[in-house]
Amino acid sequence: MTEGNITGTNFEIVGFQLTQTQGSILFLFFLLIYILSTSTNILIITVVRTDRHLHKPMYFFLSNFSFLEIWYTSVTVPRMLADFLSKSRSISRNGCITQFYFLFFLGATENFLLAVMSLDRFVAICYPLRYPAVMNDKMCSNLALASWIISFLVILMPAIPLSQLPFCRPFVIDHIFCDFSPLLKLSCKRNSISEMSFLLIAWAVILGCFTSIMVSYSFIILTVIKMPSAAGRKHAFTTCASHLLVVFIYYGTVIFMYVRPSAHESYNLDKVVSVFYCAVTPLLNPIIYSLRNKEVKTALRRMIIKLK
């Protein structure tokens, strides 16, 4: 392999090997998913912001989550849509590093927000009398802001050393976007700082947040079981079931992708899993979280009536 120009390198993203017809069909399919995902998340933000009945910590975090999902899917899906119709799938080196950074910055934020949302449900169900005092406006704002700021900073640790690596020909990324492992394989020399920091951050953030969520829900389940009222138990389980479903869908994919031995890498399977958590889950999340929620559906009806 020969070393390429460090600043002027263009990479070729392999993506899926498709015929023109297959590419056109997938373009229309994922365009529809992207439009639905973006519009439903915008709708949730609008409803939460405008309806005073939803001015609660749970919906404040939900609107943050929806805002995140809009940007998270926008980092990869528009580029993927263009690649379905284009024969040239070239991306500049700087563009690739930028996509990598924002993908993992937003991914880390999603982990933290899911953990914060489980904490909110833990306090609401296990300590209902203390809930208004603990989860006040200032606390909610600080938790959400910390999720964004910490994620923004920690991903700089692998991103900066990665951006300084020389890359070798052929400049081909066997993936659908600029993921860490395919990028590292293009480097002419291994960068232990970037590699180790990425692995440590991935394991710490993903497993740390997942463990925190599971601990919170273990206490929630124990508390719910002890409730004397069957109606109270049903309401508590209904409130938490949506969050848990989103957690299991999300962590099932990211743990498979980033918390596993590299010896078992399979890029074809990775591409399919990546499409699922980058394009499909941002559509499923608002449906699971909000459109099945009675308070949100009631708020939507009120908004529609006002518009008529």
Q: In the chain, what percentage of residues exceed pLDDT 90?
A: 36
Residue 3: pLDDT above 80?
no
Q: What is the pLDDT of residue 269?
A: 78
The C-alpha atoms of residue 27 and residue 85 are separated, in whole angstroms, by: 7
The C-alpha atoms of residue 64 and residue 62 are separated, in whole angstroms, by: 5
Hey, what's the torsion of the CAs at 153, 159, 160, 165, to 10 degrees? 170
Q: What is the pLDDT of residue 117?
A: 92
Strands (E) across the chain are located at 10-13, 90-92, 172-173
Model confidence pLDDT, tens digit, residues 56-88: 998 999 999 999 999 999 999 999 898 888 877
Q: Which band of pLDDT confidence, cut at 50, 70 and 90, is reported for residue 194?
A: confident
Which CATH number do you get for residue 184?
1.20.1070.10
Residue 250: pLDDT above 50?
yes
Q: Is residue 41 part of a domain?
A: yes
Q: Is residue 89 part of a domain?
A: yes
Calculate the average pLDDT of the chain.
Answer: 85
Q: Which band of pLDDT confidence, cut at 50, 70 and 90, is reported for residue 247?
A: confident
Contact status, residue 186 vs residue 167, Cβ threshold 8 Å: yes
Average pLDDT over residues 180-206: 82
**Domain tally for the chain?**
1
More confident residue, 291 or 234: 234
Half-sphere exposure in the Cβ direction for 85 (13 Å, CA): 11
Q: Is residue 1 part of a domain?
A: no
Q: Is residue 55 part of a domain?
A: yes
Q: Is residue 3 part of a domain?
A: no
Query: Which of these ranges, 95-99, 209-213, 285-289, 291-295, has the smallest mean pLDDT?
Result: 291-295
Model confidence pLDDT, tens digit, residues 262-299: 544 566 777 888 888 888 888 887 777 776 677 888 88
Q: Is residue 2 part of a domain?
A: no
In three-state secondary structure terms, 263 is: helix
Beta bridge partners of 105: none
Q: Is residue 5 part of a domain?
A: no
Q: Which band of pLDDT confidence, cut at 50, 70 and 90, is reported for residue 106?
A: very high
Please tell me whether the overall predicted TM-score, pTM, comes out greater than 0.85 for this model: yes
The C-alpha atoms of residue 236 and residue 303 are separated, in whole angstroms, by: 26
Model confidence pLDDT, tens digit, residues 108-140: 999 999 999 999 989 998 898 999 999 999 999
Q: Which band of pLDDT confidence, cut at 50, 70 and 90, is reported for residue 196?
A: confident
Residue 91: pLDDT above 80?
yes
Output the CA–CA distances (angstroms, integers) from residue 221 to 109, 135, 187, in the order listed.
Answer: 26, 20, 48
Model confidence pLDDT, tens digit, residues 147-190: 999 999 999 998 988 888 888 777 888 888 888 888 888 887 76
Residue 1: pLDDT above 50?
no
Checking DSSP bridges between strand 90-92 and strand 10-13, what pairing results, if any?
Answer: antiparallel
The C-alpha atoms of residue 235 and residue 224 are separated, in whole angstroms, by: 10
> Do you find a cis peptide bond into 158, omega within 30 degrees of 0?
no
Q: Is residue 285 part of a domain?
A: yes
Residue 9: pLDDT above 80?
no
Residue 163's domain comprises 10-307
